Homo-oligomer: A and B are copies of this chain.
Amino acid sequence: MSVDGFRASAVASEMRYKDRLDLGLIVADQIVGRAGVFTKNTCQAAPVIWSRKRISTGQAILVNAGQANAQTGQNGIAACRHSAETLGKELNLKKRQILLASTGIIGAPLNLEAMDRAIPKLVKELSPKGFDNFAKSIMTTDTKIKVAIDNGAFKDGTKFNVWGAAKGSGMIAPNMATMLCFVLTDANLDSHLMNRMLREITEATFNRITVDGDTSTNDCVLFLASGAAGGPLVVGDAQARNFSNALYEVLNRLSRMIVLDGEGANHVVEILVTGAKTLEQAKMAARTVAESPLVKTAFYGRDANWGRVMAALGRSGALFDPYKVNLFLNDVPWVENGLDNNRDKEASQVMKKKEYRLTIDLKCGRARHSMLTCDFSHQYVDINGSYRS
Protein backbone atom coordinates (compact mmCIF):
# COMPACT_ATOMS: atom_id res chain seq x y z
CA MET A 1 0.00 0.00 0.00
CA SER A 2 1.00 3.63 -0.23
CA VAL A 3 0.03 7.10 0.92
CA ASP A 4 -0.27 9.81 -1.71
CA GLY A 5 2.57 12.25 -1.63
CA PHE A 6 5.15 9.89 -0.14
CA ARG A 7 7.74 7.47 -1.51
CA ALA A 8 9.84 5.03 0.45
CA SER A 9 12.78 2.68 0.03
CA ALA A 10 15.20 0.48 1.94
CA VAL A 11 18.61 -1.06 1.24
CA ALA A 12 21.10 -3.42 2.86
CA SER A 13 23.76 -0.88 3.78
CA GLU A 14 25.97 -3.32 5.71
CA MET A 15 26.54 -0.55 8.25
CA ARG A 16 26.41 -3.30 10.82
CA TYR A 17 24.31 -6.26 9.68
CA LYS A 18 25.13 -8.35 6.63
CA ASP A 19 22.62 -9.08 3.89
CA ARG A 20 19.55 -7.50 5.40
CA LEU A 21 17.63 -4.29 4.87
CA ASP A 22 18.86 -1.91 7.55
CA LEU A 23 18.62 1.58 6.09
CA GLY A 24 15.21 3.04 5.26
CA LEU A 25 14.03 6.28 3.73
CA ILE A 26 10.73 8.11 3.44
CA VAL A 27 10.46 11.27 1.33
CA ALA A 28 7.51 13.59 0.79
CA ASP A 29 6.99 15.63 -2.36
CA GLN A 30 5.59 18.30 -0.13
CA ILE A 31 4.58 18.56 3.52
CA VAL A 32 1.68 20.47 5.05
CA GLY A 33 2.11 19.45 8.68
CA ARG A 34 4.43 17.59 11.05
CA ALA A 35 4.54 16.40 14.63
CA GLY A 36 6.84 14.31 16.79
CA VAL A 37 7.12 12.89 20.28
CA PHE A 38 10.51 11.99 21.65
CA THR A 39 12.02 10.02 24.51
CA LYS A 40 12.25 11.61 27.95
CA ASN A 41 15.33 9.52 28.80
CA THR A 42 18.14 11.63 30.29
CA CYS A 43 20.48 10.03 27.76
CA GLN A 44 19.18 11.26 24.43
CA ALA A 45 20.58 9.77 21.25
CA ALA A 46 22.07 12.17 18.69
CA PRO A 47 19.27 11.57 16.11
CA VAL A 48 16.68 12.38 18.79
CA ILE A 49 18.41 15.66 19.57
CA TRP A 50 18.71 16.31 15.81
CA SER A 51 15.11 15.54 14.88
CA ARG A 52 13.50 17.27 17.84
CA LYS A 53 15.13 20.51 16.70
CA ARG A 54 14.10 20.05 13.06
CA ILE A 55 10.65 18.50 13.37
CA SER A 56 8.97 21.64 12.05
CA THR A 57 10.98 21.61 8.81
CA GLY A 58 11.28 17.89 8.06
CA GLN A 59 10.40 16.48 4.66
CA ALA A 60 12.35 13.20 4.66
CA ILE A 61 13.07 10.54 7.28
CA LEU A 62 16.26 8.46 7.26
CA VAL A 63 16.35 5.49 9.64
CA ASN A 64 19.13 3.01 10.32
CA ALA A 65 18.94 -0.21 12.35
CA GLY A 66 21.94 -1.67 14.18
CA GLN A 67 23.67 1.40 15.57
CA ALA A 68 21.80 3.74 17.88
CA ASN A 69 24.18 6.71 17.65
CA ALA A 70 23.50 7.25 21.37
CA GLN A 71 26.15 8.20 23.97
CA THR A 72 28.37 9.24 21.11
CA GLY A 73 28.81 12.87 22.20
CA GLN A 74 29.79 15.55 19.70
CA ASN A 75 30.86 12.90 17.19
CA GLY A 76 27.30 11.62 17.19
CA ILE A 77 25.88 15.03 16.34
CA ALA A 78 28.54 15.47 13.65
CA ALA A 79 27.50 12.09 12.22
CA CYS A 80 23.89 13.33 12.06
CA ARG A 81 25.00 16.46 10.24
CA HIS A 82 27.03 14.40 7.80
CA SER A 83 24.15 11.98 7.09
CA ALA A 84 21.70 14.82 6.57
CA GLU A 85 24.13 16.60 4.28
CA THR A 86 24.87 13.52 2.19
CA LEU A 87 21.21 12.60 1.83
CA GLY A 88 20.16 16.22 1.31
CA LYS A 89 22.51 16.53 -1.67
CA GLU A 90 20.98 13.46 -3.32
CA LEU A 91 17.43 14.66 -2.66
CA ASN A 92 18.06 18.33 -3.30
CA LEU A 93 16.90 19.13 0.23
CA LYS A 94 18.46 21.19 2.98
CA LYS A 95 19.93 19.55 6.11
CA ARG A 96 17.07 20.87 8.24
CA GLN A 97 14.59 19.01 6.04
CA ILE A 98 16.11 15.62 6.93
CA LEU A 99 14.76 13.92 10.05
CA LEU A 100 16.83 11.09 11.48
CA ALA A 101 16.15 8.04 13.64
CA SER A 102 18.44 5.23 14.73
CA THR A 103 18.09 2.01 16.68
CA GLY A 104 20.67 -0.53 17.75
CA ILE A 105 23.76 -0.67 19.90
CA ILE A 106 24.31 2.33 22.17
CA GLY A 107 27.80 3.83 22.21
CA ALA A 108 28.93 2.55 18.84
CA PRO A 109 29.63 5.24 16.23
CA LEU A 110 27.59 5.27 13.02
CA ASN A 111 29.33 3.52 10.15
CA LEU A 112 29.24 6.58 7.91
CA GLU A 113 31.31 5.10 5.11
CA ALA A 114 28.81 2.30 4.60
CA MET A 115 25.96 4.78 4.88
CA ASP A 116 27.52 7.13 2.31
CA ARG A 117 27.91 4.23 -0.09
CA ALA A 118 24.29 3.16 0.43
CA ILE A 119 22.53 6.52 0.16
CA PRO A 120 22.58 6.93 -3.65
CA LYS A 121 21.00 3.50 -4.09
CA LEU A 122 18.49 4.26 -1.33
CA VAL A 123 17.39 7.42 -3.17
CA LYS A 124 17.30 5.67 -6.51
CA GLU A 125 14.96 3.00 -5.18
CA LEU A 126 12.41 5.47 -3.77
CA SER A 127 8.95 4.33 -4.83
CA PRO A 128 5.31 4.49 -3.74
CA LYS A 129 5.69 0.73 -3.32
CA GLY A 130 8.66 0.92 -0.97
CA PHE A 131 6.76 1.05 2.33
CA ASP A 132 6.87 -2.63 3.26
CA ASN A 133 10.61 -2.74 2.68
CA PHE A 134 10.97 0.39 4.78
CA ALA A 135 9.03 -1.26 7.62
CA LYS A 136 11.28 -4.29 7.34
CA SER A 137 14.47 -2.25 7.45
CA ILE A 138 13.75 -0.71 10.86
CA MET A 139 13.51 -4.05 12.69
CA THR A 140 16.13 -5.16 15.21
CA THR A 141 14.97 -7.77 17.75
CA ASP A 142 11.49 -7.69 16.24
CA THR A 143 10.33 -11.02 14.91
CA LYS A 144 7.51 -9.51 12.85
CA ILE A 145 7.06 -6.51 10.61
CA LYS A 146 4.59 -4.04 12.16
CA VAL A 147 2.43 -2.01 9.80
CA ALA A 148 -1.10 -0.71 10.32
CA ILE A 149 -3.33 1.31 8.02
CA ASP A 150 -6.69 2.97 8.24
CA ASN A 151 -8.72 5.41 6.19
CA GLY A 152 -11.81 7.54 6.43
CA ALA A 153 -13.32 10.82 5.37
CA PHE A 154 -13.68 14.25 6.88
CA LYS A 155 -17.18 15.68 7.27
CA ASP A 156 -16.83 17.53 3.97
CA GLY A 157 -16.30 14.19 2.22
CA THR A 158 -12.55 14.50 1.67
CA LYS A 159 -11.05 11.05 2.05
CA PHE A 160 -7.80 10.37 3.86
CA ASN A 161 -5.38 7.49 4.47
CA VAL A 162 -3.17 6.82 7.50
CA TRP A 163 -0.18 4.52 7.36
CA GLY A 164 2.01 3.61 10.33
CA ALA A 165 5.03 1.40 10.86
CA ALA A 166 6.73 0.61 14.15
CA LYS A 167 9.53 -1.36 15.65
CA GLY A 168 9.83 -2.58 19.23
CA SER A 169 9.59 -5.93 20.87
CA GLY A 170 6.92 -6.74 23.40
CA MET A 171 8.65 -9.36 25.45
CA ILE A 172 10.74 -6.69 27.02
CA ALA A 173 7.90 -4.20 27.48
CA PRO A 174 7.53 -2.16 29.51
CA ASN A 175 11.28 -2.22 29.91
CA MET A 176 11.46 -2.13 26.17
CA ALA A 177 14.32 -1.57 23.86
CA THR A 178 13.94 1.22 21.35
CA MET A 179 10.45 1.92 20.05
CA LEU A 180 10.31 3.78 16.77
CA CYS A 181 7.13 4.69 14.95
CA PHE A 182 6.53 6.54 11.69
CA VAL A 183 3.07 7.74 10.69
CA LEU A 184 2.16 9.18 7.30
CA THR A 185 -1.07 10.64 5.99
CA ASP A 186 -2.29 12.33 2.84
CA ALA A 187 -4.69 14.49 4.84
CA ASN A 188 -4.36 18.25 4.80
CA LEU A 189 -3.56 18.77 8.47
CA ASP A 190 -2.27 21.67 10.52
CA SER A 191 0.92 20.99 12.53
CA HIS A 192 -0.50 22.24 15.84
CA LEU A 193 -3.51 19.95 15.49
CA MET A 194 -1.20 17.07 14.57
CA ASN A 195 0.89 17.67 17.68
CA ARG A 196 -2.14 17.72 19.95
CA MET A 197 -3.55 14.54 18.45
CA LEU A 198 -0.21 12.73 18.49
CA ARG A 199 0.47 13.56 22.13
CA GLU A 200 -2.98 12.55 23.27
CA ILE A 201 -3.11 9.33 21.29
CA THR A 202 0.45 8.32 22.15
CA GLU A 203 -0.54 8.63 25.79
CA ALA A 204 -3.46 6.26 25.20
CA THR A 205 -1.50 3.74 23.12
CA PHE A 206 2.30 3.54 23.26
CA ASN A 207 2.46 5.01 26.75
CA ARG A 208 0.16 2.25 27.96
CA ILE A 209 2.68 -0.38 26.94
CA THR A 210 5.73 1.48 28.14
CA VAL A 211 6.05 3.22 31.44
CA ASP A 212 5.22 6.90 31.64
CA GLY A 213 8.28 8.73 30.48
CA ASP A 214 10.49 5.68 30.95
CA THR A 215 11.67 5.39 27.41
CA SER A 216 14.90 4.33 25.78
CA THR A 217 17.62 6.62 24.45
CA ASN A 218 16.20 6.57 20.91
CA ASP A 219 12.40 6.33 21.12
CA CYS A 220 10.42 8.60 18.88
CA VAL A 221 7.23 8.86 16.90
CA LEU A 222 7.39 10.99 13.73
CA PHE A 223 4.17 12.02 12.00
CA LEU A 224 4.06 13.69 8.58
CA ALA A 225 1.13 14.91 6.48
CA SER A 226 1.48 15.46 2.72
CA GLY A 227 -1.89 17.13 2.14
CA ALA A 228 -2.08 15.23 -1.17
CA ALA A 229 -5.68 14.19 -0.40
CA GLY A 230 -6.70 17.80 -0.94
CA GLY A 231 -9.56 19.57 0.81
CA PRO A 232 -9.32 22.56 3.16
CA LEU A 233 -6.63 22.66 5.84
CA VAL A 234 -7.95 20.86 8.91
CA VAL A 235 -7.18 22.85 12.05
CA GLY A 236 -9.82 22.19 14.69
CA ASP A 237 -10.33 19.18 16.92
CA ALA A 238 -14.02 18.77 16.04
CA GLN A 239 -13.25 18.86 12.34
CA ALA A 240 -10.53 16.24 12.86
CA ARG A 241 -12.69 13.81 14.85
CA ASN A 242 -12.79 11.09 12.17
CA PHE A 243 -9.10 11.48 11.49
CA SER A 244 -8.12 11.21 15.13
CA ASN A 245 -10.17 8.01 15.39
CA ALA A 246 -8.22 6.59 12.46
CA LEU A 247 -4.92 7.69 14.00
CA TYR A 248 -5.95 6.00 17.26
CA GLU A 249 -6.76 2.81 15.33
CA VAL A 250 -3.35 2.75 13.69
CA LEU A 251 -1.33 3.51 16.84
CA ASN A 252 -3.44 1.19 18.97
CA ARG A 253 -2.90 -1.67 16.54
CA LEU A 254 0.82 -1.00 16.36
CA SER A 255 1.15 -0.89 20.14
CA ARG A 256 -0.68 -4.24 20.45
CA MET A 257 1.64 -5.69 17.81
CA ILE A 258 4.61 -4.57 19.87
CA VAL A 259 3.21 -6.23 22.99
CA LEU A 260 2.50 -9.46 21.10
CA ASP A 261 5.87 -9.57 19.39
CA GLY A 262 8.68 -11.48 21.01
CA GLU A 263 9.06 -15.21 21.22
CA GLY A 264 6.65 -16.84 23.54
CA ALA A 265 4.26 -13.95 24.20
CA ASN A 266 0.88 -15.63 23.89
CA HIS A 267 -1.49 -13.23 25.62
CA VAL A 268 -2.09 -9.51 25.62
CA VAL A 269 -3.63 -8.52 28.92
CA GLU A 270 -5.11 -5.14 29.72
CA ILE A 271 -4.59 -4.22 33.36
CA LEU A 272 -7.38 -1.79 34.24
CA VAL A 273 -7.21 -0.21 37.69
CA THR A 274 -10.36 1.57 38.84
CA GLY A 275 -11.41 3.14 42.12
CA ALA A 276 -7.93 4.42 42.96
CA LYS A 277 -7.54 7.38 45.28
CA THR A 278 -5.46 9.37 42.77
CA LEU A 279 -4.37 8.99 39.15
CA GLU A 280 -0.79 8.61 40.39
CA GLN A 281 -1.85 5.66 42.53
CA ALA A 282 -3.87 4.12 39.69
CA LYS A 283 -0.74 4.30 37.54
CA MET A 284 1.50 2.82 40.24
CA ALA A 285 -0.90 -0.07 40.78
CA ALA A 286 -1.38 -0.80 37.05
CA ARG A 287 2.33 -0.57 36.38
CA THR A 288 3.38 -2.81 39.27
CA VAL A 289 0.92 -5.53 38.28
CA ALA A 290 1.77 -5.18 34.57
CA GLU A 291 5.50 -5.54 35.29
CA SER A 292 5.39 -8.28 37.91
CA PRO A 293 7.21 -11.38 36.59
CA LEU A 294 5.15 -13.50 38.97
CA VAL A 295 1.88 -12.16 37.57
CA LYS A 296 3.16 -12.47 34.00
CA THR A 297 4.20 -16.09 34.46
CA ALA A 298 0.75 -16.81 35.90
CA PHE A 299 -0.75 -15.34 32.68
CA TYR A 300 1.52 -17.65 30.71
CA GLY A 301 0.57 -20.70 32.77
CA ARG A 302 -3.13 -19.73 32.55
CA ASP A 303 -3.00 -20.15 36.26
CA ALA A 304 -5.79 -18.29 38.06
CA ASN A 305 -3.40 -17.43 40.89
CA TRP A 306 -4.95 -14.15 42.04
CA GLY A 307 -2.71 -13.96 45.11
CA ARG A 308 0.14 -12.80 42.90
CA VAL A 309 -1.98 -9.86 41.78
CA MET A 310 -2.74 -8.97 45.41
CA ALA A 311 0.94 -9.25 46.38
CA ALA A 312 1.94 -6.94 43.53
CA LEU A 313 -0.79 -4.43 44.45
CA GLY A 314 0.33 -4.56 48.06
CA ARG A 315 3.83 -3.43 47.19
CA SER A 316 2.78 -0.90 44.52
CA GLY A 317 2.48 2.04 46.87
CA ALA A 318 -1.22 2.51 46.06
CA LEU A 319 -3.48 2.89 49.09
CA PHE A 320 -6.26 0.34 49.53
CA ASP A 321 -7.87 -2.00 52.00
CA PRO A 322 -6.83 -5.59 51.13
CA TYR A 323 -10.30 -6.80 52.13
CA LYS A 324 -12.20 -4.40 49.89
CA VAL A 325 -10.48 -5.09 46.57
CA ASN A 326 -12.45 -6.72 43.74
CA LEU A 327 -10.77 -8.45 40.79
CA PHE A 328 -12.41 -9.37 37.50
CA LEU A 329 -11.10 -11.39 34.54
CA ASN A 330 -13.20 -9.94 31.72
CA ASP A 331 -16.64 -10.23 33.37
CA VAL A 332 -15.82 -13.02 35.82
CA PRO A 333 -15.90 -11.76 39.44
CA TRP A 334 -12.65 -13.45 40.42
CA VAL A 335 -12.00 -11.98 43.85
CA GLU A 336 -14.57 -10.21 46.03
CA ASN A 337 -13.54 -8.04 48.95
CA GLY A 338 -10.05 -9.53 48.83
CA LEU A 339 -11.25 -13.11 49.17
CA ASP A 340 -11.40 -16.00 46.75
CA ASN A 341 -14.73 -16.11 44.92
CA ASN A 342 -14.44 -19.76 43.85
CA ARG A 343 -14.45 -18.94 40.14
CA ASP A 344 -11.24 -20.78 39.28
CA LYS A 345 -12.80 -22.62 36.37
CA GLU A 346 -14.38 -19.56 34.70
CA ALA A 347 -11.24 -17.52 35.37
CA SER A 348 -9.08 -20.17 33.72
CA GLN A 349 -11.38 -20.11 30.69
CA VAL A 350 -10.81 -16.37 30.27
CA MET A 351 -7.07 -16.86 30.62
CA LYS A 352 -7.07 -19.11 27.57
CA LYS A 353 -8.06 -16.16 25.37
CA LYS A 354 -5.43 -14.37 23.35
CA GLU A 355 -6.57 -11.00 24.68
CA TYR A 356 -8.40 -10.34 27.91
CA ARG A 357 -8.74 -7.78 30.66
CA LEU A 358 -7.88 -7.90 34.34
CA THR A 359 -9.91 -5.27 36.19
CA ILE A 360 -8.75 -4.23 39.65
CA ASP A 361 -11.28 -2.20 41.61
CA LEU A 362 -9.53 -0.68 44.63
CA LYS A 363 -12.77 0.92 45.87
CA CYS A 364 -10.90 3.88 47.35
CA GLY A 365 -11.75 6.66 44.95
CA ARG A 366 -12.51 7.50 41.32
CA ALA A 367 -9.16 7.48 39.52
CA ARG A 368 -8.44 4.90 36.84
CA HIS A 369 -5.61 3.87 34.56
CA SER A 370 -4.95 0.98 32.23
CA MET A 371 -1.86 -0.65 30.78
CA LEU A 372 -1.24 -3.41 28.27
CA THR A 373 1.12 -6.20 29.16
CA CYS A 374 1.97 -9.66 27.85
CA ASP A 375 2.61 -12.99 29.48
CA PHE A 376 6.09 -14.10 30.41
CA SER A 377 6.95 -17.49 29.07
CA HIS A 378 10.44 -19.08 28.66
CA GLN A 379 12.40 -21.38 30.92
CA TYR A 380 11.84 -18.72 33.53
CA VAL A 381 8.41 -20.23 33.97
CA ASP A 382 9.70 -23.74 34.48
CA ILE A 383 9.88 -22.80 38.11
CA ASN A 384 7.27 -20.09 38.41
CA GLY A 385 4.57 -21.13 36.00
CA SER A 386 4.23 -24.57 37.51
CA TYR A 387 4.58 -23.43 41.08
CA ARG A 388 0.93 -23.94 41.85
CA SER A 389 0.36 -27.23 40.11
Contacts and interface: CB of A to CB of B under 8 A. Distances in A.
B264 A307 contact: no
B294 A380 contact: no
A277 interface: no
B387 A311 contact: no
A345 interface: no
Contacts of A314: 41-44, 217
Copies in the complex: 2
Interface string A67-110: 01011110000000000000000000000000000000111100
A69 to B, nearest CB: 11
Nearest to A318: B42
Given A106-B307, A383-B171, A315 B378 contact: no
Contact of A294 (B172, B263, B339): B172
Interface in A193-232: 211, 213-217
Contacts of A378: 378-380
Interface string A363-389: 000000000000001111011100110
B263 A379 contact: yes
B383 A169 contact: yes
Contacts of A44: 314, 322
A293 B228 CA distance: 44
Contacts of A133: none
A202 B306 CA distance: 29
Interface residues on A, range: 35 or more
Given A71-B307, A314-B217, A42 B105 contact: no
A244 B378 CA distance: 41
A340 B380 contact: no
A338 B108 CA distance: 12
Contact of A388 (B43, B105, B214, B320): B105
A306 B107 contact: yes
Most buried by B among A262, A306, A315, A379: A315
Interface string A107-135: 11000000000000000000000000000
Given A41-B314, A217-B314, A338 B380 contact: no
A266 to B, nearest CB: 13
Contact of A293 (B40, B175, B383): B175
A311 B263 contact: no
A107 B337 CA distance: 12
A30 interface: no
A214 B294 contact: no
A292 interface: yes
A305 interface: yes
A234 interface: no
A315 B213 contact: yes
B105 A264 contact: no
Given A71-B322, A73-B339, A338-B73, A311 B41 contact: yes
A177 B106 contact: no
A216 B216 CA distance: 29
B263 A313 contact: no
Given A293-B175, A315-B215, A380-B378, A106 B71 contact: no
B42 A322 contact: yes
Given A141-B383, A175-B294, A217-B307, 16 more contacts: A41-B314, A42-B313, A42-B320, A43-B310, A70-B307, A71-B340, A105-B307, A105-B388, A106-B307, A107-B307, A107-B335, A169-B383, A175-B292, A263-B379, A264-B379, A379-B379
8 contacts: A42-B313, A105-B305, A106-B308, A143-B383, A175-B292, A263-B382, A377-B379, A380-B380
